Amino acid sequence: MHTRSLYFISAAVTSLFLWSCSGNNSTSSPAAKPGAPNTDYKPAFEGQTKIGRVKTATSYKVEKIADHLGIPWAIIPMPDGRLLLTEKTGYMEIVSTDGVLLKKITGFPEVNKGGQGGLLDVALDPAFTTNKTIYWSFSEKHGDSNLTAVAKGQLSEADSSIKNPVVIFRATPALKSENHYGSRLVFDKDGNLFVSAGERSILEGRKQAQWLNSDLGKVFKITKDGHPAPGNPFINQPDARPEIYSYGHRNPQSLDLNPVTGDLWEAEFGPRGGDEVNLIKPGKNYGWPTITYGIEYDGNKIGDAIQQKEGMEQPVYYWDPVVSPSGMIFYTSDSIPEWKNNLFIACLSSTQVVRLVIENNKVVGEESLLSDKKERLRDITQLNGKLYVVTDTGILYRISKS
């Protein structure tokens, strides 16, 4: 059982960098009116975008149960029924399901908290109840550059600190950018860790999303000690990083495992248009920046402005205009039966939780939740049939059956 469901990257260069920095995420240009598509690109198949809307029939309630939680980036459940949050500036918080701050956890390695960086995702070791080990991702400074790093250590609640922190993986090369770290963590059933890393926003990193000798724009599968997981697709290929599981990604901030099939699903930021949901298969190329359903922030085309190419995977679903997908979770509870196995994505610029109904690996329905709150929603998790959503402003919402 993985821990996110425990109990379940010239003028064009300048424009790209500035827009990627704005609002601490990649969003569409203000020149694009809300609801207006940025391109006239056509989907590769019916239902790949703008699927029919659905509406939850079950009565549910949304409660604001906490605020002033700093700048949260991730939220996950703990085995004893509490919640663990990461705070971007470099610490974690343990919070009750009623929103009460119980402990502040410190002692983490220094993070680069500029731009989109900071202390990012967190996952519990599958044997957390006995070894108290947690894993976290963060933006790590290297000289005048930065990279996405993954570390682990033991959570000591007695003195509210992390013990024996050690970095187990770094997505190299480090670049002079404070954006597109990606950075979600998910354990699989075998105890290996999936890690996502962005291409760092700047053009120097963007092209490396297609390079197998670079860690930028990739999803990795590693062991608890940071080694390549057995059976990885490029483990015996010369000039390829053996930790790579898939490649051709832009800024993947969403990962979760489908509770029915066990497949890995991912969502990532497009540029101006072209946010994607992908079904991740080992060794596959997801196309960025060669194929995309988006354009540059200044309105120019990207590359050859193509959306399909042989040998490159199509997204299961995409958005234009963007939604800015951050954390996501498959709902596994029976509390609201019509939500079971649906995918819920916390979104930033579109200030909503997107609910996707998925059948046979296709999106067949979409619903928007919490849009009335007008908050940038950073991450979402579930516990005891309830959904918990954190915002960039430090608010915690609980969604439950009425």
In this prediction, residues 264-273 reach a mean pLDDT of 98
Q: How confident is the model at residue 22 (pLDDT cuts 50, 70, 90)?
A: very low
Is 5's pLDDT higher than 50? no
Is 25's pLDDT higher than 70? no
pLDDT digits (tens, 9 = 90+) for 153-206: 999 999 999 999 999 999 999 999 999 999 999 999 999 999 999 999 999 999
User: Rg of the chain's alpha carbons, rounded to an integer?
Assistant: 19
pLDDT, residue 2, reads 44
pLDDT, residue 79, reads 97
Q: How confident is the model at residue 319 (pLDDT cuts 50, 70, 90)?
A: very high
pLDDT digits (tens, 9 = 90+) for 357-395: 999 999 999 999 999 999 999 999 999 999 999 999 999
The catalytically annotated residue of 68, 180, 227, 249 is: 180
**Known active-site residue 180:** yes
Sketch out the chain's domains with CATH numbers.
Answer: 3-8+10-401 (2.120.10.30)
